[in-house]
Amino acid sequence: MIEAKISSVHLVEVSAVLAPDPSSPGFAPQSRPVSVYDQFHPAGGWPAPTDPRRKTSLYLEIGTTSGVTGRYGPIDQEAVAPLAEGMAASLLGQDALGGTFIWDLLQRGNRHSRHGNRKIAISAVDNALWDLRGRVLGLPVWRLLGGGGRPNIPAYASTLGTFHGEGQVEETAARLLDEGYTAQKWFFGDGPGQGAEGMDRNVALVERTRGTVGNSSALMFDAFMSWDLTYARRWSSRVEGLGPDWLEEPFPAGAVESFAQLRATTSIPLAAGEHLYDRYDILPFLQRGLLSVLQMDPEWCGGVTDLVRMCALAEPYGVPVIPHGHNIHAALHVVASQSPELCPRVEYLFLHEPERHHFELDPPAPKGGIIALPTRPGFGIELDEGRIKESLDVIAVS
């Protein structure tokens, strides 16, 4: 029997100074919950850095008595405090192969574990332990989860940060289509706080993208919890004939009744889930038939362990799961382990993923709109020492 007790937990920060990119236009304005306040909604977006900047990433590393170490990252800064305040130390001596047991201990260990920063920290631990088990057994995580029938996974292009100026939408939409993406998601620049002109721009975004790609690509649109019911109904009535493939998060995640009322008045499919953090959160949406797509994030919802459970919960309701993709690793492996009917594709933020994984060797990336499955053990996350100029332990327990 393999014995691998957890002997150390390190949260490692790697960093380097990056030169400014003279070709970067910056970050486009996006409708956000705070956009109801004009002073928090810069019409011109956020400019690109003009001076060198320090790039940092956090990786959780869990060592064992067997000599094998599991790694996951980059993880969010929100995970640091719960790990430092006792979660990391509580892992010492546990059986690293007993991931479900450890998940349950961490979930039960604090009354606030269901949501928020503690759930983000639990997700990091869970994902690092899946990587560790893969390294112990010499198998990628998608194999550990039972996958084997899908050698590659379609990705949809997520355009977060893309500017909507004259010709920019059309150029980007056409380029993504030429690159082989069969689906692309666009982010609204305006919400109710920007009035009638903002509504016109949000309608025009659908017209411009559909006019560019025709019926050759699915088109999805993300409001990032920044709309109200009246606004969403008005937008939907104006664009319904253009066939948006989904409207994502028009309301805050807990606004179940708003989702229900919008669902009753539009044929546009609704999507949500990245801000739903456990099975109890998604159940009312499933039971009432409110969503056409679920989008839980394995960095936030409890890691691979609970995302797989959520997939099983969604399947009887006929609702596909396309995980939120701000980190490609865990989402890709879970999707690869499920049927194409249940998990048809992954999200790829093409402007952000390359920098997010700046310190890694050969992170997964689409070619022709398709991501080939990793074959290295675990998640296959290996750091490129040539890119790391400084490394320090933010947390170290043993």
Tell me the pLDDT band of 277, cut-offs 50, 70 and 90.
very high
φ/ψ of 25, rounded to 5, equals: -85, -5
User: What pLDDT digit, counting tens, does each position of 299-309 carry?
Assistant: 999 999 999 99
With cut-offs at 50, 70 and 90, classify the pLDDT of residue 285: very high
Angle at 345 between CA 327 and CA 143, to 5 degrees: 75
What's the whole-number mean pLDDT along residues 23-27? 90
Which of 35-44, 226-235, 349-358 is the least confident region? 35-44
Closest of 272, 275, 277 to residue 113, by C-alpha: 277
| Residue 2 predicted with pLDDT over 90 | no
Task: For residues 395 and 66, give the distance between their C-alpha atoms in angstroms, rounded to a whole number.
Answer: 21
- One of 41, 164, 324, 333 is an active-site residue; which one? 324
- Tell me the pLDDT tens digit for each residue of 84-128: 999 999 999 999 999 999 999 999 999 999 999 999 999 999 999
Give the pLDDT band (50/70/90) at residue 1.
Answer: confident
Question: Once rounded to an integer, what is the mean pLDDT over residues 315-337?
Answer: 97
Residues whose CB is less than 8 angstroms from the CB of residue 388 and which lie 6 or more positions away in sequence, other chains included? 14, 15, 16, 359
Q: Are 345 and 182 within 8 A, CB to CB?
A: no
Q: What single-letter amino acid sits at 208?
A: R
- Show the DSSP H helices in 83-115 as ranges: 88-90, 99-108
The closest alpha carbon to 184, from 274, 244, 233, belongs to 244
Compute the radius of gyration of the chain from its Cα atoms: 21
In sequence order, what are the beta bridge partners of 294? 272, 321
pLDDT tops 80 at residue 137: yes
Distance between CA atoms of residues 245 and 267, nearest Å: 10
> Which among 235, 310, 312 has a CA at the least distance from the CA of 270?
235
pLDDT tens-digit readout, 144-153? 999 999 999 9
**Domains parsed from the chain with CATH numbers:** 6-138+385-397 (3.30.390.10), 143-372 (3.20.20.120)
Tens-digit pLDDT profile for residues 38-95: 899 998 999 999 999 999 999 999 999 999 999 999 999 999 999 999 999 999 999 9
User: Is 352 one of the catalytic residues?
Assistant: no
Q: Tell me how crowded residue 34 is: count the other CB atoms within 10 A of its CB.
A: 12
